[in-house]
Chain A
Amino acid sequence: MTDVRFPVMSGAKDATGVIVTWFVESGDEVTPATLIAEVAVDKVDAEVYPQTSGVITLLEQENTEVAQGAVIAQVA
């Protein structure tokens, strides 16, 4: 099982981010080419792709604040 982490996008380590959109649902098959989420810190967007292939489980909801580097999903 591999973790999918919220990317570290801001030098201000305390700055939290938000998951803007989940493009997949728990139970979906994903690969490293699957766009799984769009996230933002201070209105700067980034795309998130998993590092491994497998079935994804989402751990956070859309529009929730998340610490940079936090685990937001798992692929098994």
Chain B
Amino acid sequence: MTATLPRNKQSLALAVEPAAGKRRLSTAKAMQEAISQRMDRDQSVFVMGEDVGSYGGIFSSTTGLIDRFGPDRVLDTPISETAFIGLGIGAAVEGMRPVVELMFADFFGVCMDQIYNHMAKIHYESGGNVRVPMVLMMAAGGGYSDGAQHSQCLWGTFAHLPGMKVVVPSNPYDAKGLMSAAIDSDDPVVFVFHKGVMGLGWMAKNARSIGAVPEQEYVVPIGKARVAREGTDVTIVTVSLSVHHSLDVAEKLESEGISVEVIDLRSLVPLDREAIVDSVSKTGRLIVVDEDYQSFGLSGEVIAVVAEHDPSLLKRVSRVCVPDVPIPYARELEYAVLPTPARIEAAVRDAVAT
């Protein structure tokens, strides 16, 4: 049995959330830079998955890495998710630090045994003697008519199952820092990126998907939420692309004197419960915005955090999620179920009206 020791001792010295500086990147380029910098530093880091090589990742998560590090460290795989995720787990328990891309989160169904029975449980079943320092990254989210099997978020599904950290960045700065932290982690980390925050020209592009990113290496701590905007009337707790929509709504409503606080969770596991309670203690009104399915997921969990802490904090609570239906292909129907700015705005108005 091989125990994987914390090898990246140097990483402990990495800056934690340094000033952003002026250089701007897209979220996709920020992820590429994080992986590239960790590969430069640590020979045990490698990338594997479908179309991660010359194609550069179908959502540009690995563009340029094969040119820099070659096909021995950036491995294109066949369509064989169980095999290559299993390969990643095996490499991880033997001391490598694989970054494995599942492509679409929706594809987890064909390889879930490797993910939740092996990747997530080996450290538990070995009494902590065998670690699985692996990153499993995947694209999530809808809004571009890709249908019910290519548009799901599903981060709540991974977060529900014990043994995996789950990070969901919303912007370039956090994407780089969380990817660096994920690679450094001795635990398996599921890294879910929404296609709509990557800053890709061929997707509907949100201005917040381009932002300032330090050139130096740094980490964003896994499990620490960020107050994306301070406010006093109502708290929106959300992740990923919905952070951008919530900030747009908050800016719009400011002129009417409605003050919205936006909490970007950044990580689902560990969940920053303190940040949620702190904000709701101030505002008394909670809206959870989540592009994942509504029932049995993140939105209910966030509300339960507050209710278990002190239910009297809650003057109002509601959620803006995907109702429990498959994501439609037809644009009008898809936008009827997504947590759009219009739905978020209506929820805020409803919350402050009482």
Contacts and interface: CB of A to CB of B under 8 A. Distances in A.
A21 B202 contact: no
Interface residues of A, number: 12
B88 interface: no
B201 A23 contact: no
Interface of chain B: mostly helix, strand, loop or mixed: loop
Interface stretch (A4-12, A37-45, A53-61, A66-74): A37-45
B201 A38 contact: yes
Interface in A1-41: 18, 20-21, 23-24, 28, 34-35, 38, 40
Interface in B15-66: 22-26, 29, 60, 63
A6 to B, nearest CB: 14
A26 B216 CA distance: 25
Contact of A21 (B22, B23, B26, B63): B26
B24 A23 contact: yes
B247 interface: no
A21 B201 CA distance: 7
Contacts of B26: 21, 38
Contacts of A34: 23
B210 interface: yes
A35 B25 contact: yes
A40 B202 CA distance: 10
A20 B210 contact: no
Nearest to B200: A20
B339 interface: no
Interface string B197-222: 00101100100001000000000000
Interface of B: 22-26, 29, 60, 63, 199, 201-202, 205, 210
